[in-house]
Structure 1
C-alpha cells in the first residue's frame, strides 16, 4: 500500500511539474495587468468560482468569439468577459483564450482581478460585476514607436475612418459588432483600422462606448504614431499603416455623403424635371386636340 501511495504522489508531482512547464512556455501577454481588489486564499470559495469559470471558457465561447458569465454571491462572486477579434476563427479564438487564462493566473497569482490578452483575444475577470457594465472602461494603451508622416493630416483621415467604422460596428451585425476598413492618409499612406464592441451591447451603447474610446485618444501615447490601440472592457479600436486583420472579412464602411454628391444631384434633377416634362407634353396634346376640333 505504501508503494502505491508513493507512485500516486510521484504521478501527481510529475503532472503538476508538466503543467507548470506548459504554462511557463506560453508567450508573454501582449498586454496585461493585475487589479487592486485584493487577494484570495487557496481554499476560498472565490478561487473555486474563478477556476470554474476559467476552466470552462474555451468550450463556452460562441461562434462570434464572445462569452460572459458570473458565479457566486457577494464577496465570492467571480465575473469574466472574453472577446476575440472579429476576424478570428472559432478554434483559434478558443486556443487564444485558453492561453490567456493560463497566463493571467500565473502573472497575477491569488489576485481577484486581472485583465490581459494577445492580439487576437482579451480576457477580464474580477470580483466585481463587470458583466453588468455597458460603458467604456479604459484598460490599456498600446502604440508603435514611429511617428506618422504629417501627423495632423494623418489623424484627420484616421478620425474620419474611425467614425465611419463606428456606425458599421454599432448598427451592423448584432452578433459580432465588429468593423474594419482602410483609408488613404497623407502621401498616399494606407491607414488600416478596426473597431469592436462586445456583442451583448445594444447599438446605442456600442456607439457611445466607441465615442468615449475615441475621445480618450488625446491621452494615449499613440497620438500621432503610425499605429496604436485603446482597449476597454466593453469596446476597443486599433489602427496601423499595415494590415493586421484578415482582409477577406473587411467590413467596408459607407463612404461620406459628400462623395456621392454628383449622383444625388442627377437623381434630384430627374425627379424634379421628369414630372414637369410629362405635364408639358400632356398640355400640348390637349391643345392639339382642341385646335383640331375647332377646325
Structure 2
C-alpha cells in the first residue's frame, strides 16, 4: 500500500514538473527583439549641414507618444512620429523614445525617411505631411518555438484579433487595444496599435493587413510581432506588459 502511495506521489510530481517546464519554455521562448530599423531608400538623402537636417532635429526633439510633429515646408518639410505601447507610463515611454532616436540617426545617416522599433516604442520620420499612410515595410519577429496545438492557437488568434479590431473600430479608431483569451490550458495575449498620424480608416486597413501577415509568417509560433511604419500587432503566451 505504501509503495503504491509513493508511486502515485512520484507520478504526480513528475506531471507537475512537466507542467512547470512547459510554462518555462513558453515564457523563455518569447521573441525579444532589442531593435529593428528600416531606412527608406527611395526617400533620398540630405546633406549634413542642410535645412532638412535642422528641421529633422527640431521635429525629433521632445517627441511624445502618439503625437506627430511637422517642421518646415517642402522640400525641407520633416514630420516625426513617436509611438509608445499603450500600456507604458509616460516616464518609460520617454525613456524608450530617447533611446530610439539615436539608433535611428545612427543606422540611417542622411536618409530622408526611416523608422526604428524597440520592444515598446517606435520612432519614424520622413518628408511628408501628417495623415500619411504608407506601409513601405513590414517586419516580423517570430519565436522559433512551436505549439503542439496549432489549430487551437490559430482559432484563438483569429478570435482575439477580431475582438480587438472591432473594439478599435467602434471605440478608438486610431489607438490601442489589448486583450487575452484562454484556449486549452494556455492564455494568449495580444496587442494592436496604430500611430497617431494616420486616419481611422487607414488604421483599420493597416491592422487588417498585418492580421493577414500573422497567418502567413507565424503558423504555430507561440509568439510573434508584426511591425510597420503605421501600425503593429504582437501576441505571446505571457503578459508582455509586465516584462
* TM-score bracket for this pair, using the shorter chain length: 0.7 to 0.9
Q: Would you say how many aligned residue pairs link Structure 1 and Structure 2?
A: 210
Map 1:106-255 → 2, pairs under 5 A:
106-127=106-127, 129=128, 131-134=130-133, 138-173=137-172, 177-185=175-183, 187-199=184-196, 201-220=198-217, 222-246=218-242
Q: Which runs of 5+ in 2 are unaligned?
A: 1-32
**Per-residue Cα deviation, 1:79-99 (whole angstroms, up to 9, x for no partner):** 211110000001211111111
Q: CA deviation at 1:142?
A: 1.2
Q: In structure 2, do the counterparts of structure 1 residues 102 and 197 end up closer, same or farther at CA, with 3 Å as the change threshold?
A: same
Structure 2: distance between partners of 1:134 and 1:152: 34
Q: How does 1:21-32 map to 2 (within 5 A)?
A: 29-32=34-37
Give the C-alpha shift of residue 173 in structure 1.
Answer: 4.4
* TM value normalised by structure 2: 0.77
How far, CA to CA, are the matches of 2:98 and 2:106 in structure 1?
13
Greater Cα radius of gyration, structure 1 or 2: 1
If asked which structure has higher relative contact order (CA below 8 Å, sep 6+), I would say 2
Whether the 8 Å contact between 2:67 and 2:197 is mirrored in structure 1 is no
Q: Where does residue 12 of structure 1 map in the other structure?
A: none
State the distance in 2 between where 1:130 and 1:183 align: 38
Aligned residues of 1:184 and 1:191 also touching (Cα < 8 A): yes
Secondary structure, aligned partner of 1:56: coil
Cα distance in 1 between the residues matched to 2:142 and 2:126: 26
Bigger share in helix: 1
Match of 2:16 in 1: none
User: How much has 1:78 moved relative to structure 2?
Assistant: 1.4
Aligned structure 1 segments of 4 or more residues deviating by more than 3 angstroms: 134-139, 199-205
- Contact 2:117/2:123 (CA < 8 Å) preserved in 1? yes
Question: TM-score, normalization: structure 1?
Answer: 0.65
Ranges in structure 1 where 5+ consecutive residues have no aligned partner: 1-27, 248-295
Say if 2:62 is the partner of 1:66.
Answer: no
CA root-mean-square deviation: 2.3
User: Per the alignment, do residues 125 and 201 of structure 1 end up closer, same or farther by CA in structure 2, a change over 3 Å counting?
Assistant: closer
